[in-house]
Structure 1
Amino acid sequence: MQQSAKIYVAGHRGLVGAALCRALTAQGYTNLITRTHKELELTRQQAVEDFFRTERPDYVFLAAARVGGIHANNTYPADFIRDNLLIQSHVIDAAHQHGTRKLLFLGSSCIYPKLATQPMREDCLLTGPLEPTNEWYAVAKIAGIKMCQAYRRQYGFDAISLMPTNLYGPGDNFDLANSHVLPALVRKFHDAKHSGGSEVEVWGTGTPRREFLHVDDLADACLFLMAAYSAEELINVGVGTDLTIAELAAAVARVTGFTGTIRYNTAMPDGTPQKLLDVSRLFALGWRPRLDLDQGLASTYQWFLGNRASLRL
């Protein structure tokens, strides 16, 4: 991408979109286009068409999505499948129709089968049943991947699909009603420590294994792949190692200074037993993450402390 190219970051206020804007600005890109949800409703086709007809971005990072953890996916399945299908369909089609040179679509590791062989290779997509607690979101994201592939095949549109692992970092959602596991734990342990609580409840058994990637590393990978990758096949983005939820909880307790008891509520769902991505394709291209989990947790907690007054809580 030329540094003067017009670049649209869809979802720039979200965890990933904000990281992309930081990375692009740091690398000298000066012509970023952003719109808030109020300024551009991506679920409305005419609004998206009008925007692309007027702005005609050269490059698009499609980071806008309705996202949430197990509770949110279980509670709002219609919202998750409807909104994500609409957002990605409108943006991908309008980008193609109005001359975008390249589009990067961001999916999620939850697209893979619940019992996929670990680590999960890109070619295990659609080889088995999905995890029921987030299948609505996963089906929408799979449709987005297939739409990118179809537009490449039929129209020659340069659309690539990235599948990030579990993300965390500055700008995350710490609302316990709909956050993902890592920011939820940060919030729970912080609140318990500062309220004098002696116990923190963690959903499930603590045995599922998860992989975590700092969002700034994802943004770096996105810029790398926008320049270095152009193919129909999706590509995983992760760190290649995982840990149990119990190990994660212990790490968050250390970072926040909580010294009480961790209690596992085994009546609540565990979700997928393990989600570890095979990142050999990405690593072979020459990219590596920069932050390990201990560094990332410490910096995320410091950001949480410094921005708590304005957070989604």
Structure 2
Amino acid sequence: MIKSQQVKGQQPTVNSQTRIFIAGHRGMVGSAIWRTLEAKGYRHLVGKTSKDLDLRDQSAVKEFFKAEQPEVVIDAAARVGGILANNENPYPFLMENLQIQNNLIDTAHNFEVEKFIFLGSSCIYPKHAPQPLKEDYLLTGSLEPTNEWYAIAKIAGVKACEAILKQYGKDFVSLMPTNLYGPNDNFDLKTSHVLPAMIRKFHEAKQSTDNGEQSTVNLWGSGTPMREFLHVDDLAEAVVFALEHKLEDNLYNIGTGQDLTIKALAETIQEIVGHQGEIHWDSSKPDGTPRKLLDVSKMNTQGWKAEIDLKDGIQQTYQWFLENKTKFKETKIK
């Protein structure tokens, strides 16, 4: 039996022999969950690549469940992308995510899976909701238009899990992480999020020179918006916590509860990378939402709290980037 800290009398519901299916196990989130579970002694982890199992195919998902008989399902699979990708491809971001999660949730329910962990995103909350964002703010206002298609799909997943808990009493829980970063992140400058994009930009500027000096790094906006960042290994620990305990409710925010300005983030990454050139803020580009911070008191009360310091996490992520940068095509600094 895997031992875990007892919280409010809750008992562990899994052990080292439990068959756990991690959907999306090759991605940044799924791979972190896999690593963490292995390190904690779980020995029956199941993962399938998209080539081996198309989660959009309902019949294929049913055949997989019939063959593998998973006892626990962790849904870390989704079609994801930045603002540009969401805005230009609204239909697949809505439909494919609905297909993936609906097939997993419904099949898990029909095959009597008792523990299901659904991973979503903080974008499910209204664009103009008060800060920090509480779980109770869900469906209280309009969404951010640039990613509402993805958000609507994730909201549907949250509500499907809530409905199963309400009607059947099964332990289907939803975790909503803040902005994630870490090993296996996406460093493609066209599709990546702000933190990995900055790591790559500062690194490539460090390698480039302009009149004998390191190249300038151009960044969007004013640098004044505030954002929260969570290392993916902290999210993985939150998933394991939810796995080993029956939580009191169905929806929990997962984050650090702390944020910083984009300017402060850039300066931190610049220091870690060792870039000594200038930073140019392009104020003609949009800043986006002024602040986006999760209220994580609900999960903290259950007994989980993020532990990885942002600076330490960025240093670790930069080291991973250096060890794997041959996978990424060089980009001209503009």
| Aligned residue pairs, count | 313
Deviation at 1:311, TM superposition (A): 5.0
Deviation at 1:116, TM superposition (A): 1.2
Q: Distance in 2 between matches of 1:285 and 1:295?
A: 26
- Mark the structure with the bigger radius of gyration: 2
2:81 to 68, 78, 96: 68
Aligned counterpart, 2:7: none
Aligned counterpart, 2:99: 86
Contact 2:208 2:215 in 1 (8 A): no
Q: Distance in 1 between matches of 2:145 and 2:222?
A: 18
C-alpha spacing 1:231/1:50, structure 2 compared with 1 (3 Å): farther
* Counterpart residue type for residue 200 of structure 1: V
Contact 1:114 1:273 in 2 (8 A): no
1:219-230 to structure 2, matched below 5 A, reads 219-230=236-247
C-alpha spacing 1:186/1:210, structure 2 compared with 1 (3 Å): same
Q: TM-score, normalised by structure 1?
A: 0.96
Aligned counterpart, 1:283: 300
> Deviation string for 1:247-269 (max 9, x for gaps)?
11111111111122222223333
* Counterpart residue type for residue 294 of structure 1: K
1:83-232 to structure 2, matched below 5 A, reads 83-196=96-209, 197-232=214-249
Listed as ranges, the gaps of 5+ residues in structure 2 are 1-13
Q: Distance in 2 between matches of 1:34 and 1:271?
A: 36
Q: Distance in 1 between matches of 2:118 and 2:34?
A: 16
Q: Distance in 1 between matches of 2:234 and 2:177?
A: 10
1:269 to 286, 294, 306: 286
* Counterpart residue type for residue 115 of structure 2: K
2:325 counterpart of 1:308: yes
Q: Distance in 2 between matches of 1:169 and 1:236?
A: 19
2:254 counterpart of 1:241: no
Shifted more, 8-17 versus 301-310: the winner is: 301-310
2:35 counterpart of 1:18: no
> Deviation string for 1:181-212 (max 9, x for gaps)?
11111111111111225211212222211100
> Deviation string for 1:276-309 (max 9, x for gaps)?
1111111112212221100000010001101112
Q: Report SS of the residue matched to 2:147.
A: helix
Q: Distance in 2 between matches of 1:207 and 1:131?
A: 19
Q: Report SS of the residue matched to 2:118.
A: strand
* Counterpart residue type for residue 88 of structure 1: Q
Aligned CA RMSD, in angstroms, stands at: 1.4
Aligned counterpart, 2:6: none
Listed as ranges, the gaps of 5+ residues in structure 1 are none
Contact 2:252 2:298 in 1 (8 A): yes
1:27 to 40, 44, 57: 40
Contact 1:131 1:271 in 2 (8 A): no
C-alpha spacing 1:217/1:256, structure 2 compared with 1 (3 Å): same
Shifted more, 255-264 versus 292-301: the winner is: 255-264
Q: Distance in 1 between matches of 2:110 and 2:282?
A: 50
C-alpha spacing 1:167/1:90, structure 2 compared with 1 (3 Å): same
* Counterpart residue type for residue 148 of structure 1: C
2:268 to 221, 241, 251: 251
Q: TM-score, normalised by structure 2?
A: 0.90
Shifted more, 258-267 versus 96-105: the winner is: 258-267
Deviation at 1:231, TM superposition (A): 4.4
Contact 1:149 1:232 in 2 (8 A): no
User: What percent of counterpart residues are identical?
Assistant: 55
* Regions of 4+ moved over 4 Å: none
Contact 2:172 2:250 in 1 (8 A): no
> Deviation string for 1:59-87 (max 9, x for gaps)?
01100011122222222222211111111
